[in-house]
Amino acid sequence: MLGRTHISGGIVTSLLLCGDDVTAMVFVVIGSILPDIDHPGSMIGKNIPLLPRLFKHRGFTHSILFCLLTSLVNIWICIGCFVHIIMDMMTKQGVELFYPLKSKIRFPLARYVVTNGIFEKMLLYVCYIIIFYLLYIRYC
């Protein structure tokens, strides 16, 4: 999935879980893009080019172990990372959820889903609709 889709998923999650705690919301959104520090084309990987060299894409940073380690820093970041990993499990590439075991885990129908494909675009628009709806019922 692309960064914008992960961010939209992070925003939906933060609106559902964080109440009016803006700091928690920001941490969830940061967590929603953090696992892609292992990809040179990601938002974080472009700005800190050393990080993608340290990790294989969709390996350690897309694992339960990484989520547990982020929970030691901040639980909201951990939640955002978990959302990111779930979203990447919806693609045919899957994730090494049980790193250091090398097997890729993905949802059964994910073998038909590609990054920036029609499913991801539909998911992105659904997230946008949910965001606008949640903001509407909260502030109107």
Rounded Cα distance between 27 and 15, Å, is: 12
Residue 49 has pLDDT above 90, yes or no: no
- Spatial contact of 14 and 28, defined as CB atoms under 8 Å apart: yes
Q: Please compute the mean of the pLDDT values over residues 99-111 and round it to a whole number.
A: 92
- Spatial contact of 18 and 25, defined as CB atoms under 8 Å apart: yes
Structurally, how many domains does the chain consist of?
1
- Spatial contact of 46 and 65, defined as CB atoms under 8 Å apart: no
SS3 content of the chain, % helix, strand, coil (to 5): 70, 0, 30
Q: Please compute the mean of the pLDDT values over residues 83-101 and round it to a whole number.
A: 95
Domain assignment of residue 92, given as a range: 3-139
pTM value is 0.93
Rounded Cα distance between 37 and 120, Å, is: 20
pLDDT confidence of residue 47: 82
* Residue at 97: amino acid letter: L
